[in-house]
Chain A
C-alpha cells in the first residue's frame, strides 16, 4: 500500500472509532493535539499507560469483588478511579459500562457487579484491539512517509 492509501486507512479507522462511540472525539482530539514533533506518539503512549494501569485496577476490583463480605464502597471507589482513567482517554463505551458497575455497587448488587465487570472488561478489550490496530496503521503510514 502506498502512503496515501495507508493514511486513508488511518483516517477511516479514526472515524470508525468516533462514529461507533468507542472514543469520544473531543477528548481524543485533545490528546492528539498534545502531540508534536517532540512527542509524536503521545496518544499511543497514553493508551499504553492506560492499559497497563487498567490491569492493576482490575486486579483490585476483582479482589474486592470476590472477597467476603463485599465492601461495595471500596468497589465503587476503585471503579471510580478506573472510570476517571477511561474518561481521560475518551473511552466512551468502557466508561458507560463503568457507570453501570457503579450503579450496581450503589445497590449493593453483587451479581450485578460481576456481570457489569464482565462487560467493562469486554469493552475494554475490544477497544484495545481497535486501538492497537489504529496505532499500527498510523505507524505504518508514518513509516512509509519517512521512507
Chain B
C-alpha cells in the first residue's frame, strides 16, 4: 500500500488512495504504517527496526537526529509517525520532537532507558504523544498506530469545524489526502502559498479548497494578529472566541484559533520552564563572537525598534537598550546552539536582523544588571506560566527572546507580546522555510497537514531548514539508496555537517568528511534560481548540538556563509556530478560494510576488525571532497563581513518574497 521508503513517497500518488475521506483506517491498516525510528544506539535501532517490521510497519531507521530531520523534511508526507530516543549525541531528542511537531506535525514517540518522572514529563510538555521505556517491547510497538489515527482524526475534525470551509472542500480533502498529495497538488499549493503572501487569508482558503488543505496555515501576519489579540485580551482572558473577534480574519474559525492557542500556551509554558537554563546557556556561549559581528550588531538597533514597535515598547527604553547593546558590541555575543532557533524566532521579522537580534540579546543580557534580569525573568515566568504551554520549538530562543525583551519591556504585557510574537513566529518560519527549500529541488510535496506551514515564503529564513535542506540534497541526489544505508555510511559524513560554513579552522577538518554532502551543491545551484537561495544556504553549518559554541558562531555567520556559498555553488555547478557519485559511493560503502560486518562477525563475534574496515572506508571518502574544503577555506572574517554587507543589500528583493517587510521594516518608526 505505502511506499517502501519514505523518500519515494511523494512521487507516487497511489498511497493517497488508501486514506479515504473521513476514514483514517484502511483495511490493511496498521500494516504499512510508515515509521521513522531514530536512535544513536545501533543495537537498539536494529532491534526496533526488526520489531517494527514484525508489526508489518514500513520502517526507516536513522542513527542521527539531523538525518532524521532531513528525511522528514524531504518527504513531508513520507512518514506517519516518528519514534525517537531521548539521549542522542547530535541533538537532544526533545529538540527533534519539537521540530517534528512544528514542521511536520507528525506524532512523535519518545523512548529512553530513563524512566524518571521528570524526563517523562518533559516528553509530555514537549508534545510527545507517547513515551516508551527501554528496552522496548514489541507489544508497545504494536499499538503505536493509535497515535497516528488519533492525530488524523483531530485534524479532520478541525477541518470539518472550520465554518469557512466549503462543502466541496470537505469532500475533497480529508486531511490524509493532503499528506499524500501528488506533485500536482504540491505545485498548486506552492503557488497558492506564494500568492497568499500578498493576499488575505480568505484567498488562501479559496485556494485551499482546490488544494485539499484542511488546516489553517498560520502565517506570520496571522500569528502576529493572534498574539496581538491575545495580549490585548490578557493571557488569562484570551478565549478563542474573543481572539477570533479581535483578529477579525475572514475565514478563520474559532476552532482554528483554539488549537493554535493551545499550542501557543504550551510553548509559553515551556519557555518559562527553561528560561533559567537558557540564561546560563546564553552566558556560556557568549565568548566566541567575532568582531565581524560589529556590523551586524549595528543593525540590532533595528531589531530593537522592530520589537519595540511590535511590542509597543517605550522609545526611551529602546534607546537605552540600543546604547547598551551597541556599547557592548565588542562583547562577544555568542550565539548558543539554541539560538539557531532564536534566529528563527526573529527571522520572520527580518531575516538578516534575525541574526543580529539573536546576537543582540546576548549583549543586552550582559549590559543589564542581574537583579533586573532576575525580576524580569520572574515576570516573564509568571506571564508565561499563565499562558500555558505550546509545543513550539526552541526553548532556547524563546528564552533568549525573553531575555532581550525583559529588560526592554517595562510592562509585563509588552514583554509578553514580544516574547510571544517572536516565539510563535519561529515555528512558523521554520515550517514555511521548509517549503521553498523543498520545492526547489525535492520531490516531496508541501505538507498540508502542518498547520504552521503557512507562508511558503520563498527562501524562508529558517536556519533549521537550511541545515536540513543541505542534508536533503545529498539524499535527493542519491535517492535510490535505501534509507538504511545512511546509518552506517552517513554517520561520518553527517557529523561534518555541523560545522559546515563555519570558520576555516573548524571547517577544514569537518569538511573533509562531508564528502557525502557534495551532492548538495547540486541543489545550491538550483536554489540560486530562487531568491531564497541566500536564505537557504544561509544556515549551512547550523548544527543541532547546543554544546558547541563553534556551532553557534557558525549560526551567526549565516548571512556571510550564505553569500559565500551562493557564490561558490555557482562555481561548482560542474562539480556536482562527482560529489553525487562520491556521496553515493559513501553510502553504498557504508551499507556494504555494514552487511559485511554482520556476516563476518556472525562467525567470530569480533566486531573490531569490521569496525576498522568501516572507518577506513569512511575516511577514504574525504579525499574526494577536497573541493569542499577549498570552498570553505574562503571564509575569513573579512569575507564574512563583506558577505554580510553584500547580503544586506541583497536582502531587499529577498524580503519581498518573505512578506516580512509588512511586519519588520515598515513598522520601524522614523
Chain A contact residues, CB within 8 Å of chain B: 27, 30-31, 33-34, 39, 41-42, 44-53, 55-56, 77, 80-81, 83-85, 87-90, 128, 131-132, 135
Task: List 16 A–B pairs whose Cβ atoms lie within 8 Å, in order of A's numbering.
Answer: A41-B602, A44-B602, A48-B597, A48-B598, A48-B602, A49-B43, A49-B46, A51-B605, A52-B608, A55-B611, A56-B611, A77-B87, A80-B114, A81-B87, A83-B113, A132-B605
The size of the chain B interface, using a CB distance under 8 A, is 28
The 7 closest A-B pairs by CB, nearest first: A52-B607, A48-B601, A84-B113, A50-B43, A132-B605, A88-B44, A34-B50
Q: B130-138, B498-506, B628-636: which lies at the A interface?
A: B130-138
Contact B41 A53 (CB under 8 A): yes
Contact B134 A88 (CB under 8 A): yes
Contact A34 B51 (CB under 8 A): yes
Chain B 22-54, CB-CB to A under 8 Å as 1, else 0, gives: 000000000000000000111110110011001
Instruction: For A129, give the chain B residue with the smallest CB separation.
Output: B605
Contact A52 B135 (CB under 8 A): no
Contact B601 A52 (CB under 8 A): yes
B610 within 8 A of A: yes
Contact A51 B607 (CB under 8 A): yes
**Chain A residues with CB below 8 A from B46, complex form:** 45-46, 49
Chain B contact residues, CB within 8 Å of chain A: 40-44, 46-47, 50-51, 54, 87, 112-114, 134-135, 137-138, 597-598, 601-602, 605-608, 610-611
Q: Which of A31, A81, A135 contacts B40 (CB 8 A)?
A: A81
Q: How many A-B residue pairs have CB under 8 A?
A: 88
Contact A55 B135 (CB under 8 A): no
**Chain B residues with CB below 8 A from A39, complex form:** 50
A90 touching B135 in the complex, CB below 8 Å, given contacts A48-B607, A52-B601, A131-B605: yes
Instruction: For A53, give the chain B residue with the smallest CB separation.
Output: B42
Bound complex: CA A52 to CA B488 (Å): 13
Bound complex: CA A77 to CA B138 (Å): 26
Contact B607 A85 (CB under 8 A): no
Instruction: For B41, give the chain A residue with the smallest CB separation.
Output: A85
**Chain B residues with CB below 8 A from A81, complex form:** 40-41, 87
**Chain A residues with CB below 8 A from B51, complex form:** 34
Instruction: For A83, give the chain B residue with the smallest CB separation.
Output: B113
If A46-B46, A48-B607, A81-B87 are given as contacts, then 17 extra A-B residue pairs at C-beta distance below 8 Å, sorted by A number, are A30-B137, A31-B47, A34-B51, A41-B602, A45-B598, A47-B605, A48-B605, A49-B597, A49-B601, A50-B43, A51-B606, A52-B610, A53-B41, A53-B42, A55-B611, A84-B134, A135-B605
**Chain A residues with CB below 8 A from B137, complex form:** 30
**Chain A residues with CB below 8 A from B42, complex form:** 49, 53
Bound complex: CA A118 to CA B135 (Å): 24
Instruction: For B44, give the chain A residue with the smallest CB separation.
Output: A88
Contact A33 B138 (CB under 8 A): yes
**Chain A residues with CB below 8 A from B114, complex form:** 80
Bound complex: CA A51 to CA B604 (Å): 11
**Chain B residues with CB below 8 A from A90, complex form:** 135
Bound complex: CA A41 to CA B601 (Å): 12
User: Closest CB of chain A to B2's CB: distance in Å?
Assistant: 20
Contact B113 A80 (CB under 8 A): yes
User: Closest CB of chain B to A34's CB: distance in Å?
Assistant: 5
Q: Which of B47, B54, B112, B597 contacts A46 (CB 8 A)?
A: B47
Q: Which of A34, A41, A88 contacts B43 (CB 8 A)?
A: A88
Bound complex: CA A118 to CA B608 (Å): 19
Instruction: For B47, give the chain A residue with the smallest CB separation.
Output: A88
Instruction: For A39, give the chain B residue with the smallest CB separation.
Output: B50
Instruction: For A26, give the chain B residue with the smallest CB separation.
Output: B137
Instruction: For B114, give the chain A residue with the smallest CB separation.
Output: A80
**Chain B residues with CB below 8 A from A30, complex form:** 135, 137-138
Bound complex: CA A73 to CA B638 (Å): 39
**Chain A residues with CB below 8 A from B40, complex form:** 81
**Chain A residues with CB below 8 A from B610, complex form:** 52
Bound complex: CA A130 to CA B232 (Å): 69
**Chain A residues with CB below 8 A from B606, complex form:** 51
Contact B607 A49 (CB under 8 A): yes
Instruction: For B611, give the chain A residue with the smallest CB separation.
Output: A52
Bound complex: CA A34 to CA B602 (Å): 17
**Chain B residues with CB below 8 A from A27, complex form:** 135
User: Closest CB of chain A to B457's CB: distance in Å?
Assistant: 38
Contact B87 A85 (CB under 8 A): no
